[in-house]
Each structure stands twice: as C-alpha cells, then as structure tokens.
C-alpha cells in the first residue's frame, strides 16, 4: 500500500490534477466528459497493513516511503483509515507491546474493516505459533471484542472468524456481503457505493443475460443481477468464489451462477477451444446462454488479447479499471467495433496518482 499523507486542504486540487490528466486521453478515444466521484477526505480506507518495528521491548507500526525503502516511518496515527481501524490501532499496539508472547517476532499487522463497523485483524509472525500464543491471542480477542487471525509459515489460526460482514446500499437497497480475509474487496467503501450506483444506473435498459469476469465476492454481481434475466459470473480465487456463492444465499438472489474460472479460461470455453469440468454444474450448456452484456473488472494488467477479442463480440460492455494506462490500451483495441458512450472517474485512492475508471461501450452500428 502506498504511503498516504492526508492533507484535506489539498484534496480538491489533487483530485482535479489527476482527473484533468486523464480526461484528454479518453476524449481522444471518443469519450464524453467524465462524471467525477470524490472520496471522503479522511477515514475512507477499509483496509490497512503495517510492518511491526521492534526496538527492545517496544513495538511500533511503521511504513516505508518508496523513495527511502530502508527507512521505517513510525505511524502514530493514520487518518486515511476507517474510524474503526483508527480507534483500535493504539490500544492494540499497547496490548501487543505489553505481551511478550504476542509481540515476539511479530512481523506485520493487517486490518480489514467494513462500512458496517466490522473488524478483523491478522497478525503475521516469523515464528511458529504455539498453544501459548493461541491462549494469549484468545484473551486479547475476547477483551477487545475482535476476531484475530494468526499467520506464520504454513499456519493459520482463526480466533473468532476469518471474514467480515458488510452491507452496501445501492439506490436505497441493502446488499449484504461476507468478505473473507485474503479475498479482494474494494478498499474505499463510500466510493465503492458510488461505483455500484453508477454501474447499475447504466444498465437500466439492459436485456438478456450478463457475463461477468473477475467477479470477486460478487461486489458488482449482486446489485447488477436485478437488471438482467440471468448472470453468469466467473472468478479464479477459490476463497472469493465460495464467498460469492454464500453471498447469493445471504441476499436471496436466484438468477446468478458462479464458475471458478479465470478470464482466459472462460474465453477458451466460450470459443469452444476447451471444456472445463468446473462448468459442469451449470443448468444448461454455455452456447444456450444469451450473453449480450459483458462486465470486466480486471487487475492492473488489463485484458489479455484473447479476452479483448471476446469482448468485441458483445453488444454492450461495462469495463471497470484500476489502471488508466491499460484501460486506454484496451479501449483503443476495441474502438474498431465499439463506441465509448459513458465515462466515470472514481477516486478510490485519494492523495495518490491512482484513479479507478468506469466505462460503458456500445457496439458500433453497421
């Protein structure tokens, strides 16, 4: 995670600078003026991780500046983190510092929180975790009212649970999520809700079925399912896929099927190049799905060539990107078949150059 210095008085200027940088790039690709969705200026980040720095019996949260990677910077407060993380950081540090068993060879602390106020803390060690550690960690978890995961090489000890509960409101409708430790979740909850409302509002006139690649725990899948007859969603991570299936039941949604495939594998399956037993649970063959809309939310590398080619066969595309460079590359490749009809900038990472972008593309008329 980049070292983020929150200077609220600079926020508006920094947001304008990065949106002004990218708007001309997408204007050249035929895009309209972007809708811009700002972030809260503080307290927005639902995830945080810190190295733990030991000085004798003292232990501190530290981060490292990329320009000085060997110099630890002690973090005594972290105003970009959610309130629930900010509130517990110092009491937790003091408890760890005062407990020889819990602090010994403690390497890193990771915090996962939600807009709903849930919290999970993962403590990572450079030593095996024994019964004494588990006893002390159980006392700590009970006294602080939190769940704790202890990790070391080939070990994962869960005290409480290894997931957090989240509720996201989309146009006034609540969607409930189980978000496991280790699965990708959006780091900025308020901006994520803006993304979901923007995405669903752009699909109000959709018909037929949706194919979603890189679906994670169902963040976009669940709200978008209300706007399609059927949704087929894929994700490679086992942890995320299992959580996504549970999230369907949690929300009483019955028009979605999940498949544990990568985007590349799903492309091979749709092209008839390869059969996958991981699709055998589907109620009908792939060729019988009327997939008219494609949603992709890929990692920073963007789409591979085969998936870009697959995308060209869809009438409607919804492309969410965390990397404007690879998004611009992919849109340029798609421009021969599709028009860029809608554009949105989401400030997921305030005070950094990073920008999340949403686009809607429509197939060009013959």
* DSSP state, residue 39: P
The H or E element spanning position 166 is strand 163-170
Torsion on CA atoms 260, 266, 272, 277, rounded to nearest 10: -10
* Cα–Cα distance, 70 to 309 (Å, whole number): 44
Ramachandran region, residue 154 (left: φ > 0; alpha: ψ -120 to 50; beta: rest): left
For residue 216 the two structure tokens come to 């994670």
* Cα–Cα distance, 47 to 28 (Å, whole number): 35
- Residue 192: phi and psi, rounded to 5, are -60, -40
Strand order in the sheet with 316-321: 35-37, 338-346, 356-363, 316-321, 291-296, 209-213, 230-234, 256-259
Q: Does residue 7 have an active-site annotation?
A: no
Q: What burial class does residue 276 get, using C-beta atoms within 10 Å of its C-beta: 0-12 exposed, 13-18 middle, 19+ buried? A: middle
The H or E element spanning position 118 is none
Q: What burial class does residue 4 get, using C-beta atoms within 10 Å of its C-beta: 0-12 exposed, 13-18 middle, 19+ buried? A: middle
Q: Which of 136, 215, 322, 339 is catalytic?
A: 322
Q: Which of 110, 181, 235, 356 is catalytic?
A: 356
Considering only CA atoms, which of 195, 192, 222 is closest in space to residue 318?
Answer: 195
* Cα–Cα distance, 205 to 312 (Å, whole number): 20
Considering only CA atoms, which of 243, 248, 252 is closest in space to residue 232?
Answer: 248
Q: Does residue 322 have an active-site annotation?
A: yes
Considering only CA atoms, which of 93, 5, 1 is closest in space to residue 49?
Answer: 1
Q: How do beta strands 106-113 and 119-125 pair? A: antiparallel
- Residue 357: phi and psi, rounded to 5, are -130, 135
Report residue 83 CA to chain centroid gap. Answer: 19
Q: Which residues are part of the catalytic machinery?
A: 322, 356
């Amino acid at each position: 995670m980049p070292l983020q210095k929150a200077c609220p008085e600079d926020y508006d200027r920094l947001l304008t600078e990065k949106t002004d940088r990218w708007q001309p790039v997408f204007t050249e690709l035929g895009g309209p003026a972007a809708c811009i969705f700002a972030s809260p200026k503080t307290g927005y980040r639902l995830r945080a991780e810190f190295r733990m720095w030991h000085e004798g019996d003292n232990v501190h949260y530290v981060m490292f500046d990329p320009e000085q990677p060997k110099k630890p910077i002690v973090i005594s407060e972290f105003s970009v983190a959610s309130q629930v993380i900010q509130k517990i950081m110092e009491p937790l540090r003091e408890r760890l510092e005062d407990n020889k068993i819990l602090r010994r060879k403690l390497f890193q602390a990771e915090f996962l929180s939600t807009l709903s106020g849930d919290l999970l803390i993962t403590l990572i060690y450079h030593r095996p975790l024994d019964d004494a550690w588990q006893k002390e960690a159980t006392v700590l978890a009970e006294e602080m009212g939190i769940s704790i995961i202890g990790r070391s090489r080939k070990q994962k000890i869960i005290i409480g649970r290894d997931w957090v509960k989240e509720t996201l409101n989309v146009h006034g409708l609540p969607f409930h999520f189980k978000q496991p430790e280790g699965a990708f979740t959006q780091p900025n909850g308020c901006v994520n809700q803006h993304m979901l409302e923007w995405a669903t509002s752009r699909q109000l006139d959709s018909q037929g079925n949706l194919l979603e690649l890189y679906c994670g725990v169902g963040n976009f899948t669940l709200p978008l399912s209300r706007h399609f007859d059927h949704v087929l969603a894929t994700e490679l991570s086992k942890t995320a896929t299992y959580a996504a299936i549970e999230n369907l039941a949690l929300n009483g949604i019955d028009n979605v099927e999940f498949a544990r495939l990568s985007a590349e594998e799903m492309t091979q399956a749709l092209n008839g190049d390869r059969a996958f037993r991981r699709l055998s649970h589907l109620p009908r063959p792939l060729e019988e799905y009327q997939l008219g809309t494609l949603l992709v939310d890929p990692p920073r590398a963007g789409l591979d060539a085969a998936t870009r080619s697959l995308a060209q066969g869809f009438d409607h595309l919804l492309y969410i990107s965390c990397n404007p460079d690879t998004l611009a590359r992919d849109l340029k490749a798609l421009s021969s078949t599709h028009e860029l009809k809608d554009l949105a900038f989401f400030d997921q990472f305030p005070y950094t150059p990073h920008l999340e972008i949403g686009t809607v593309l429509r197939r060009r008329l013959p």
